[in-house]
A and B are shown apart, each in its own frame.
Chain A
Amino acid sequence: MPTELFLGGALVTAFVLYALFGGADFGGGVWDLLASGPRKAEQRALISKAIGPVWEVNHVWLIIGVVILFSAFPRAFAVLSVALHVPLTLLLLGIVFRGTAFTFRAYDARGDRVQRRWGVVFSVASVLSPALLGMCVGAVVSGDIRVRGTVVESGFFAGWLSPFALAVGLLALCLFAFLAAVYLLAETREPALQEDFRERALGAGVAVFLAAFGVLALAREGAPRVWAGLTDSPFALTLHAATAVAAVAAFGLLLTRRFWLARMAAAAQVGLIVVGWAVSQYPYLVVPDLTLQRTAAPESTLRALLVALAVGAALIFPSLLFLLRVFQSSPRGASR
């Protein structure tokens, strides 16, 4: 297999992990914003307890993805930075305010009002950031970003404001909220609180279904090439089938209150959606002008990067497992 495919795989892996971990963090912020009912305070406490030790780690996957992109596919990074300058800048502001507000809230315990103010910043940024992320993805697959040579010809607003991109943004938001609700279920043993998040997970699951349907409906117009990729190749169809199975399983497990397994199924569902997106746009990094192969760095760089990634993975994954072991409640304890 050519080296650039390995690095393309690493890029997709980073995005899958960012969706599974960072995405769930964003979702936590959504539920912080939507906390309601008699256990409002407990819901927020649970969210902040679950996110506290891990948010910085979860967030690093994005940086890993960006670094792989600019080291291994520098041309694509440059083009995306120009074409998506506006939404990426807004996304960055969201990330800055989200992270700092979360930390400031934790260390600025002067009373409910101040805490709540930071909480609002945190949760609003948590809603806007994934939507912008989704809009960027929508623009990349739409085919509206046009490049000649190395010059972006389609301007600075192409693609990311289309109905299709907005629908992808909404889908990302719903997916992350769904993921977060399912994760949070397995983080508490309080039956009432579990019931709260079970309701939210089911509601968000329905929203995911509707948003996905919307994306699909708009894709034929909004992203013709990817639409073809989504529907034609047998490999893509297998992926979609697997995604559907995971989605149905997650729903079933939620209904039957097997929360730990539901968490696995929801994670599989989200991971498969990201992989499905990547597969359907292959071999393009930016549809339809930049391919993985055309934008790849020279072989010497790709090899060095692979070695660096292998060394990095050997350090990162054991320490990550250690972190999760320290902070995640045990599967048996939580699902009761």
Chain B
Amino acid sequence: MDLLYARAQMGMSLAFHIVFAAAGIALPLLMVLSDLKARRTGDADYVALSRKLAKGTAILFAVGAVSGTVLSFELGLLWPEFMGTYGEVIGLPFSLEGTAFFTEAVFLGIYLYGRERIPSGLHLFSGVMVALSGAASAFFVTLVNAFMNHPAGFTPTPGGPVNVDPVAAMFSPGWQYQVVHTLLACYQSSAFVMAGIHAFVLLRHPGATFHRKALSIALPMACITALLQPLAGHQQAEHIAREQPAKLAAAEGLFETQRGAPLTVGGLPDEESRTTRYGLEIPRGLSLLAFADPNAEVRGLDQFPRDEWPPVLKVHLAFQLMVGTGSLMALLAVVTLFLRWRHKAWPEGRRMLWGWLLCGPLGVVAMEAGWLVTEWGRQPWIIRGVMRTADAVTPVPNLAVPFWTFTLAYLFLGAMVVFLLVRQVAGTLPGNEEPREVSHAH
């Protein structure tokens, strides 16, 4: 029971943190882009937009910073055996992430509070540094997860790791696929949320120029990431097919090893009867996608001992959700870019705005689902093939108490953040605008 609570607490803390961490990476870039646009055009709306985005970044970064602190402690509070034994193997990317986080906090402080105190070039530079260090910290933290999926850089013995090579552990096989996939997800989720918000305002207040410009900042990032993400996801899947076959088998609900394996769309895997029912099967699709060969053999769950199976139903559903939402977003991006090309302007028709509004949350959904695929798909291992999650958990009893406490705290904080962001957006509605500070002429 305590193992479940420990996993639930870690999962809940990460699910919460990921949203804010992603925003802390993507919003600074959007903020710098609007800043650049403001400098080029001298347009007051872009100045106001970059200020709004800076405020949003400040709120989201603060929550991300404290929930990240919680996670760094929870590694030990919930998984002392994991950190006590393998901290020495995987500490290096964590310490580099600490550095990146530090520079992000420094330059965010300068960017937020320094606008009137430092020359505008230096101010913009601070914004760029925030965006860069945010990306760097996501980079390093994803390396840790890649290591847990594919441990490297040490020799496991019953007494713990020997021959430790921290650099080899940091760049474990396949790190590049996971890093690219994760970074894209951060930019994609935030850009889609931003596009959704401004599409919502434009539906109610057509012609609100501030929001049209905001949409024109969000859409390029949303479209580019939505189109690149399926490619990055495909590369990641190919790597998983080769190196983590149990995860792929669970994601696809593939119980039996077979040549020319079909791709299952939808469907409900049942671990008892070892079948996946109600799915749409595309013949040879999986072999083709995973190994670029319609007759390739794909290993099924039957190749693994029953007690090493990931929770098949959960992994499969999360995977379907990720792929489904990802495809929808890619489709929307294609339509948007087509209209952009035809009309030489970002589309503003009501139907497109509805599309962007409805797809606004999908980036976050896909990101959470993808993260669940990688985490559930690795079970029952905390470090695949080396240490079981059950062996890593803390001996502290009554873990239900911290779990519920943090859950309630995070629910409350999440509601507050949404409330504050709504108020920030409400301040930009036509007729509601806050008095604008005079912008610097360029």
Which residues of A are interface residues toward B (Cβ below 8 A)?
52-54, 56-57, 59-60, 62-64, 66-68, 70-72, 74-75, 77-82, 85, 88-89, 92-93, 95-100, 102-104, 106-108, 150-152, 156, 297-298, 300-301, 304-305, 308-309, 311-312, 315-316, 319-320, 322-323, 326-327
Contact = CB atoms under 8 A, between A and B. Distances in A.
Nearest to A156: B396
Interface of B: 55, 58-59, 61-63, 65-70, 72-73, 75-77, 80-81, 83-89, 91-92, 94-99, 101-103, 105-110, 112-114, 117-118, 129, 162, 164-167, 394-396, 402, 405-406, 409, 413, 416, 420, 423-424
A99 B62 contact: yes
A60 B96 CA distance: 13
Most buried by A among B70, B106, B164: B106
A100 B62 contact: yes
Contacts of B395: 82, 151-152
Contacts of B94: 67, 70-71
Given A74-B88, A312-B98, 17 more contacts: A56-B105, A59-B66, A67-B91, A67-B97, A70-B91, A71-B94, A89-B402, A92-B70, A100-B416, A104-B59, A104-B416, A150-B84, A300-B164, A300-B166, A311-B99, A319-B103, A326-B117
Nearest to A85: B396
B92 A96 contact: no
A56 B73 contact: no
A98 to B, nearest CB: 8
Contacts, number: 206
Nearest to A319: B106
A224 to B, nearest CB: 27
Most buried by B among A81, A305, A309, A316: A81
6 contacts: A56-B108, A64-B102, A77-B84, A95-B69, A107-B58, A327-B113
B372 to A, nearest CB: 23
Contacts of A99: 62-63, 65-66
B102 A312 contact: yes
B101 A63 contact: yes
Nearest to A10: B95
A71 B61 CA distance: 25
Nearest to A74: B87
B87 A70 contact: yes
Given A59-B69, A60-B98, A300-B165, A72 B91 contact: yes
Most buried by B among A68, A71, A93: A71
Given A60-B105, A92-B73, A107-B424, A67 B95 contact: yes
